[in-house]
Amino acid sequence: MVMRKAARKPEQLDALELFRILDRRAGTTPVADEARIEAVIDQLRTGLRAALGRASTVHGWRAQAHFAGLVVALDACELLVTLDSGEVFMDGGDIKLPDYLLVTKAGEKLLVEVKNIPPGRGLGQVVLSAGEMAALRRYEALAGGELHIAVLFSALHQWALVPCDAFRLDAGTSKYVISGEDALKVSTLGNQLGDFILGVEPPLAVTVTPDAGEPITLEPDGTWTFTVGSVALSAGGRAPLQGDASRLALRLYLYGAWADEMHADTNPDGTLRALVFTASPDSPTPGQGFEIVTTLSALYQRWMDGVTRSGATIYGLQVPTTPGMLTALLPVGLSDPDLPLWQFRLSPG
């Protein structure tokens, strides 16, 4: 069965919980007093503006939301629950709630803390303070489950799911660290959550053919104006794709890692036959017969980035994710001789 979202009314119940926590006039006036409501809304407005004004907070929150969306898109779990919210009381040493509790379809219980590596740091080190690691580990000991750190390497749109045991304590800084390269090597995103690598024969091509019955004009600035007659997807110079294969090829073209370019295919008299958009790897491997185009998780992240930001401007923390949308790209039985697929699921090394 595909995951589904539990029915809730966050605009009422989450708002009521925030009211309970932020209300400072308990016992003075009726609970529905407008002045009390406005006082809480003022606190919320001030806090929200402060949070949205800190770029690190916004990007970290986006990464957290995107990871949950990725899990749902992969249809990877029996259960996903947000943990890091609400009030926490503890006895003894500090604890830190991870961001999520996951129960995989294999029955594994994962506690996941999400970290974002900014674009400027590339495949940089993942670092947790000794205090944060100890607080997360204490929650793990109390609640059960296996603690993992989900890392988004923003510059690469690449996710890794790193078991906490893979981190080492740096004696010089007293912090827990793992390199970006090692994080990807030990990542369990494939074997625990169903991510995998996709390869196809390059190039991926999108051919846009004008409607010959409508005007086709070459503008002075070199652009073509026309009415679209048809759009066809192909791979490796083969025949146009149909159905599920065409839909998959379009997503790989739009959200894969290959660079794209466009050229105008013209008739001998200079009129436009078609605009052809192609995507190819920068450094193809001679004799291999196929090239890696993306992972499912990176495809999802490129899509999510494309719809929630433009350059440095953030337009949303997340958009709704359809459960199983990534696995739906590869329905059981998908087989098209014009789109040979290579699929690899990596296990930790």
Each residue's pLDDT tens digit, 256-279: 999 999 999 999 999 999 999 999
Is residue 80 a contact partner of residue 100, using CB atoms and an 8 Å limit?
yes
What's the DSSP call for residue 290? -
Residue 65 — pLDDT band, cuts 50, 70, 90? very high
Residue 341 — pLDDT band, cuts 50, 70, 90? very high
pLDDT above 70: residue 286: yes
Residue 307 — pLDDT band, cuts 50, 70, 90? very high
Q: Residue 185: which of 162, 169, 168, 207 has the closest Cα?
A: 162
Q: What are the CA-CA distances from residue 258 to residues 123, 196, 204 (Å)?
A: 19, 17, 9
Share of the chain above pLDDT 90, in %: 87
Half-sphere exposure of 136 (CA within 13 A, CB side): 24
Share of the chain above pLDDT 70, in %: 100
Amino acid at 205: A
Report d(CA 125, CA 266) in Å as an integer. Answer: 50
Question: Rounded to the nearest 5 degrees, what angle is found at the Cα of 135, between the Cα atoms of 54 and 178?
Answer: 75
CATH number corresponding to 54-193: 3.40.1350.10
- Taking residues 66-89, what's their average pLDDT? 94
Give burial (CB, 10 Å; 0-12/13-18/19+) of 260.
middle
The pLDDT score that the predictor gives to residue 334 is 86
Residue 308 — pLDDT band, cuts 50, 70, 90? very high
The pLDDT score that the predictor gives to residue 335 is 87
What's the DSSP call for residue 156? G
- Taking residues 169-191, what's their average pLDDT? 96
More confident residue, 112 or 84: 112
The pLDDT score that the predictor gives to residue 212 is 92
Residue 330 — pLDDT band, cuts 50, 70, 90? confident
The pLDDT score that the predictor gives to residue 1 is 79
- Average pLDDT of the chain, as a whole number: 94
Report d(CA 94, CA 96) in Å as an integer. Answer: 7
Question: Rounded to the nearest 5 degrees, what angle is found at the Cα of 135, between the Cα atoms of 164 and 16?
Answer: 115
Amino acid at 132: E
Query: Rounded to two decimals, what is the model's pTM?
Result: 0.93
More confident residue, 85 or 81: 81
Helices (H), 107-149: 130-143
Q: Residue 301: which of 63, 126, 52 has the closest Cα?
A: 63
Q: Residue 104: which of 188, 8, 5, 6 has the closest Cα?
A: 188
Domain residue spans in the chain?
Answer: 54-193, 197-344
Tokens standing for 134? 């100890």
Helices (H), 75-174: 130-143
Q: Is 16 helix (H, G, I), strand (E, B) or coil?
A: helix
Report d(CA 39, CA 18) in Å as an integer. Answer: 12
The pLDDT score that the predictor gives to residue 27 is 76
Phi, psi of 33 (to 5 degrees): -60, 130
Is residue 253 a contact partner of residue 233, using CB atoms and an 8 Å limit?
yes
The pLDDT score that the predictor gives to residue 331 is 82
The tens digit of pLDDT for each residue in 10-56 reads: 899 999 999 999 998 777 899 999 999 999 999 999 999 999 999 99
Residue 349 — pLDDT band, cuts 50, 70, 90? low
